[in-house]
Structure 1
């Protein structure tokens, strides 16, 4: 079945907001009396906000009621939004513009599949809202990755089947989500980490659309 659509994660694929997430989560951890490292932060990639908070609280040995956790998640998000609101098109990762140009020339449909509720804001800041035919973010899903919901909804909105989709992901949870959704998955990052991916490259800058389509045949 020929590929008709490319579905992209946002963080680590189009832009790299991991440093902003880390700064905000670390500030929260510090206020709770402990610290988290950048290495620890890798565990939070592709994971929803509340799940990330649970992982951090477990790291600090802290148990809190849901209302308090909601307050902390909102506080972290406020700090994060302060940081991402300063983003511009300069924050688009190398190779993204060229790759998307190839995507359009190939006549492929595009969707964003991100668990972030801030994805529309980030796309607006970097000027890429119109690069996507469909945008599925954290406000449109009930399950975070590795559940495939975000990508299955993207395929449905594009009116294509999962088998006609290629997913681009940098996180282990995201790669698993794409595979569970029955899609061809391109992992962006380390082959040692993204072992479930069908194809692995350092970034979009290292790929061409023609190469991806050929590999996914």
Structure 2
């Protein structure tokens, strides 16, 4: 028993915060990037510096979103408008793409220096899902999804990966739109109603609900269970291991 309804035959897992312990690294990279920009802007405009909030700002504006969408979302919350620029902008450019590229440089430095760990409970769940014959995909907004999956040792347990590079190539809208999860289900050959979405981000559970998936599991690593339920989760757990051995919902 894996705590899923009987009609679910596939699992669509978010990566950061659900399978791997990279949410902290992403948060730190966003904070360093935005604070450097905000300090520079405050000094140039003779305004007070208000730093990026690694709790509220991270959860509301960047967690679970594609990188450049996260930049736009946070800047909009501060009534800041920057030129879009282009994906090739250097990390010091004061454009949406420049800030996003700066964040990515910081993230990759951290990953390559310290690596990335998978949550033990998530590894147990992935192995149990494999043994139970459930199909398995990872769906992440990160353009570094392949690198993170490989570094965490999870590649052999996942059949399909839909990441930020796939989304860009296929012009898939980011979460909270359901496009990437729908692409994951399609690649596994299952209907959305037969797939369960596993997400720790508010935008992610909203995407699961918007796509009419068969079940949405919220993973609460930071004490936001009520918000995950409000955004569309059917159930919230602190760790995927809690689902192992559980009876299916309604049984």
TM-score scaled to structure 2, two decimals?
Answer: 0.79
Tell me whether 1:148 sits opposite 2:175 in the alignment: no
Tell me whether 1:176 sits opposite 2:206 in the alignment: yes
DSSP 3-state at the match of 1:116: coil
Match of 2:118 in 1: 92
Tell me whether 1:105 sits opposite 2:140 in the alignment: no
Out of 216, 220, 230, the position equivalent to 1:185 is: 216
1:85 Cα deviation after fit: 2.1
Out of 68, 79, 82, the position equivalent to 1:64 is: 82
Out of 192, 195, 202, the position equivalent to 1:165 is: 195
Does the 8 Å CA contact 2:160/2:184 hold for their aligned counterparts? yes
Who wins on radius of gyration, i.e. which is larger?
A: 2
After the TM superposition, which residues 189-200 of structure 1 pair with which residues of structure 2 at under 5 Å, given as runs? 189=220, 190-195=224-229, 196-200=232-236
Match of 1:136 in 2: 162
Structure 1: which 4+ aligned runs deviate by more than 4 Å? none
Report the Cα distance in structure 2 between the residues aligned to 1:169 and 1:30, rounded to whole angstroms.
27
Report the Cα distance in structure 1 between the residues aligned to 2:15 and 2:106, rounded to whole angstroms.
19
Tell me whether 1:207 sits opposite 2:223 in the alignment: no
DSSP 3-state at the match of 1:27: helix
- Greater mean deviation of Cα atoms: 140-149 or 25-34: 25-34
Does the 8 Å CA contact 2:127/2:157 hold for their aligned counterparts? no
- Greater mean deviation of Cα atoms: 43-52 or 33-42: 33-42
Match of 1:10 in 2: 15
DSSP 3-state at the match of 1:192: helix
DSSP 3-state at the match of 2:113: coil
DSSP 3-state at the match of 1:55: helix
Match of 1:19 in 2: 24
1:174 Cα deviation after fit: 0.6
Distance 1:159 1:216, change over 3 A: farther
1:87 Cα deviation after fit: 4.6
Match of 1:80 in 2: 107
Match of 2:88 in 1: none
Tell me whether 1:42 sits opposite 2:59 in the alignment: yes
1:151 Cα deviation after fit: 0.8
Q: What RMSD over aligned residues (CA atoms) do the two structures have, in Å?
A: 1.9
Runs of 5+ consecutive residues of structure 2 not aligned to the other structure: 1-5, 40-48, 86-94
